[in-house]
Amino acid sequence: MSLPKVSNAGGPGPGGLSADDAEQEAAERNLIRRCVDFHTPAVIDLQNRLFRKACRSHHTRHSAEYLQPHSSCLRRMGLPISNVAAPIPSELYLTYCAHVTRAKNSTPILCLSWTPGGRRLLTGNQEGEFTLWDGIHFSFELIMSAHDTTFRSMAWSHNKNYLLTSDGAGNIKYWSPSIAPVQSIDSHNNQAIHSLSFSPADTKFVSCGDDATVRVWDWATHTEERVMEGHGWDVKSAHWHPRSSVIATGSKDNLVKLWDPRAGNCLSTLYGHRNTVTKVAWNDNGNWLLTASRDQVIKLYDIRAMKEISSLKGHNKEVTSLAWHPLNQTVFASGGMDGTLLFWNVGAKGSEEPAAKVPFAHDMAIWDLQWHPAGHMLATGSNDRQTKFWARNRLGSSQGLGTDDRKGTEGVEVLDAEIELGNHVGIVIGRRGQTIISMQRATGTKMHVDQLRKVLLIQGTARQIETVKKRVNALLDRVSSEERRDGMMPM
């Protein structure tokens, strides 16, 4: 059937279209819609939502199918990869930066969490403010004051009915899913509370802080049930076992401890690290415990045998954040003090080397990272005041998946260089590090100032290093000329 032709003459708008139609066509032509690759993990999550019982308890999470379509419709409802039992690991290494958020009057992002269902991302900054971002189009939605001091942690209950947050002054707050305050508790001798975690049944939760204690709370009565003491210094992280009555904690005394919250005593102590333990994380299977430390090492323990499985070395600075993949039980991501983002696969076909690496993910420390519940996206919050959304590489791209760490994203060799700063270290760093951060963003290099040696350490390609040297030398020459001019001026 032939379509009617539209005459170009006699119409009030271009091509014979009316003014309203022309305006609508122009709007559709100028519409730019961001798109994130929803691949295998998202499809598996969708299948679980449709055909599996939506139970939030971990021990019944993989229950039998309860929604059974008619037999005549089965062949039409099957997804292209419905026979895949688990995602392909390489599809889980999210090395493509899909979006970078830049909030007005931004401050360092210290913690973040996806809302139930992954529709939005909630971040907490140094000023104690909530910021809400759209998880699909990455647009800004809301900012509100939550705490009087800096955020430290946030955790959703397993049934997703409530949110817990803590700050640097020992305050714990309950929030509803609509981000409305419900309850406020002061504890830990008004010292910073670094971590919160719910029990498997959501009837209890645990907190830890700078007073070197681990405290167990009753959710319904908002009362403190037990105080567990045993660490010799600040407790930086705590995580409740996904199925059992066991709590793992990591402290500034270099120790990882396992606690019985019912009796309040220490079950075991792990001595694997040589510096502050920054993060501990149970795998969803409940058998593996992951620990990260300032000694730049990540350790994996098998709690069934109480032994270390592997020691993972890939970071060049302190490890500041960890997160297991929500669907694949052998994959996790880690963030470092220097802004490096690493992806690991520790399964039977895994390795002790990073499976993927993003060396310039952030300009400064990655304080927190969280996977989307569907597993197709990763959100990271950093000290550089940015929140970034990471997705799978575009087709044909191998960014971050190379085996040679000294190669750039296009196969170009990455070099190291130094620039002598003398007495102008503070000028190069700038106020709150803004000068060095802006140069890193503009040139794509990684820079760090060694204040003892008074040198600027640069990592990048030869062309990038040459650009940085020109900018830094121009800055130093301008400062030196201003100092000479001020010295020649009469008093």
383: exposed, middle or buried (C-beta count within 10 Å: 0-12, 13-18, 19+)?
buried
- Is residue 53 within 8 Å of 62, Cβ to Cβ? no
pLDDT score for 411:
52
- In whole angstroms, give the CA distance from residue 80 to residue 353: 32
- In whole angstroms, give the CA distance from residue 378 to residue 243: 25
Of 101-110, 212-221, 283-292, 466-475, which gets the smallest average pLDDT?
A: 101-110
Q: Are strands 181-186 and 277-282 parallel, antiparallel or unpaired?
A: unpaired
Cα-based distances in Å from 185 to 127, 221, 235: 19, 11, 19
Q: Which two tokens stand for residue 135?
A: 């998880």
Helix (H, G, I), strand (E, B) or coil at 459: strand
Q: Which residue has the higher pLDDT, 351 or 345?
A: 345
Helix (H, G, I), strand (E, B) or coil at 319: strand
- Is residue 18 within 8 Å of 11, Cβ to Cβ? yes
- Residue 35 in this model has a pLDDT that exceeds 90: no
pLDDT score for 403:
41
Domain residue ranges of the chain, discontinuous segments joined by +: 93-391, 415-488
Which residue intervals of 316-417 are DSSP H helices?
Answer: none
Q: Which residue has the higher pLDDT, 260 or 348?
A: 260
Q: Which CATH architecture has domain 415-488?
A: 2-Layer Sandwich (3.30)
Evaluated on CA atoms 49, 51, 56, 62, the torsion sign reads negative
Return contacts of 253-261, CB within 8 angstroms, 24+ apart: 254/293, 255/231, 256/280, 256/289, 256/291, 257/230, 257/231, 258/303, 259/214, 259/228, 259/230, 261/199, 261/204, 261/206, 261/216, 261/226, 261/228
pLDDT score for 33:
52
How many Cβ atoms sit within 10 Å of the Cβ of residue 166? 28
Cα-based distances in Å from 188 to 182, 203, 237, 261, 413: 20, 20, 14, 17, 50
pLDDT score for 179:
87
pLDDT tens, position by position, 223-264? 999 999 999 999 999 999 999 999 999 999 999 999 999 999
- In whole angstroms, give the CA distance from residue 279 to residue 294: 10
**Contact partners, residue 55, CB within 8 Å, separation at least 6:** 61, 63
Average pLDDT over residues 37-64: 56
DSSP string, 218-248: ETTTTEEEEEEE--SS-EEEEEE-SSSS-EE
- In whole angstroms, give the CA distance from residue 113 to residue 125: 12
Average pLDDT, the chain: 81
Q: 93-391 adopts what CATH topology? A: Methylamine Dehydrogenase; Chain H (2.130.10)
- In whole angstroms, give the CA distance from residue 37 to residue 42: 9
Are domains 93-391 and 415-488 of this chain identical in fold? no
Average pLDDT over residues 208-216: 94
The crossing angle, in degrees rounded to 10, of helices 462-488 and 434-443 is 140
Average pLDDT over residues 200-216: 94
pLDDT tens, position by position, 449-484? 777 788 888 888 888 888 888 888 888 888 888 777
Beta bridge partners of 153: 166
